[in-house]
Amino acid sequence: NEEAALPETGRRLVSLVKRMVEQGDIHPDSRIALVDDGSRDGTWRVICSLIEQNPCMEGIKLAHNAGHQNALWAGMMSVRARVDALISIDADLQDDPEAIPKFIEQYKSGCDVVYGVRSRREADTAFKRITAQGFYGFMKKMGVDLVYNHADYRLLSRRALDALSEYTEVNLFLRGMVPLLGFQTAQVYYERHERVAGESKYPFSKMMAFALQGITSFSIKPIRWVTLIGTVFALMGLIMALYALVSLLSGHAVAGWASIMVSIWIIGGVQ
């Protein structure tokens, strides 16, 4: 649903590609692939119009809305066999496309993965900055290897894409998957800008769901916490069993009370 943003996004990306081709930074056959994640507005119509006007553009239309990470994966896997490297970027251009030449420089120096890292987030609301920074801090404590202030603005070489394609993840969390590849990496810093047009497609509910998916997909600490809580409840069940037995033998328990209490505590702990 980026109908409002795409005309300006297309203009700026095409201008950048032409400039880089003229400077010899990239091959003349380089392409811009626009992935439509089941939009309900006129996004696909705009993409078709851009393709007609610009030979360097192509479109990938998903059959339905699959979500940001799945759409990004679909785009990468669709072009993987035809590239030396690719750079992923969101259509709102909050991630500065003028940093792309620096990505290419790092790639040519031998890096298979180049992360775009936000040096400043003044364009974000205070709430967005606080929640985003809290997310990165929390994920680090959870033991997840994330690049701080990096989203999905990155370069991946063909070799890195081939390795990434071997993952069989269903609930994709690319920010956690890419650092696991193990190839040589670099970071390119840029300032985050305001959207070129339109509204954010990531409300608070989606951000929370995305964070939960990352935590549960790439950290075993929640499982350890659940195991610890279960063990504590099971031990409390044993203590309650002794208490119930003493109460029963001393004649202070109502018939059936002891068996019910022991069952609830021990079964609850095991569950």
Bridge pairing between strands 57-61 and 113-120: unpaired
Tokens at 183, concatenated:
């190839």
**Rounded Cα distance, 271 and 267, in Å:** 6
**Rounded Cα distance, 109 and 104, in Å:** 9
Closest CA to 85 of 64, 67, 108: 108
What backbone phi and psi angles, to 5 degrees, belong to 65? -70, 115
What pLDDT is stored for residue 225 in this prediction?
84
Task: Supply the DSSP string of 38-73, one letter for each residue.
Answer: S-SSSHHHHHHHHHHH-TTEEEEE-SS---HHHHHH
What pLDDT is stored for residue 247 in this prediction?
78
| Pair 99, 192: CB distance under 8 Å | no
Task: Supply the DSSP string of 174-223, one letter for each residue.
Answer: HHHHGGGG---EEEEEEE----SSS--S--HHHHHHHHHHHHHHH-SHHH
Closest CA to 197 of 2, 5, 3: 5
- 3-class secondary-structure state, position 33: strand
**Rounded Cα distance, 251 and 253, in Å:** 6
The model's pTM: 0.74
User: pLDDT tens for residues 24-43?
Assistant: 999 999 999 999 999 999 99
**Rounded Cα distance, 57 and 29, in Å:** 10
Kindly state the helix (H) or strand (E) to which residue 132 belongs, with its residue range.
Answer: helix 126-141
Per-residue pLDDT of the chain (271 residues; tens, 9 = 90+): 999 999 999 999 999 999 999 999 999 999 999 999 999 999 999 999 999 999 999 999 999 999 899 999 999 999 999 999 999 999 988 999 999 999 999 999 999 999 999 887 565 666 666 766 777 777 777 777 778 788 899 999 999 999 999 998 888 889 888 998 989 999 999 988 887 776 766 666 767 777 777 777 777 777 888 888 888 888 888 887 788 778 777 877 677 777 787 788 778 777 7
What pLDDT is stored for residue 35 in this prediction?
96
**Which residues are CB-contacts of 71 (< 8 A; sequence separation ≥ 6)?**
35, 37, 62
Tokens at 222, concatenated:
């929640």
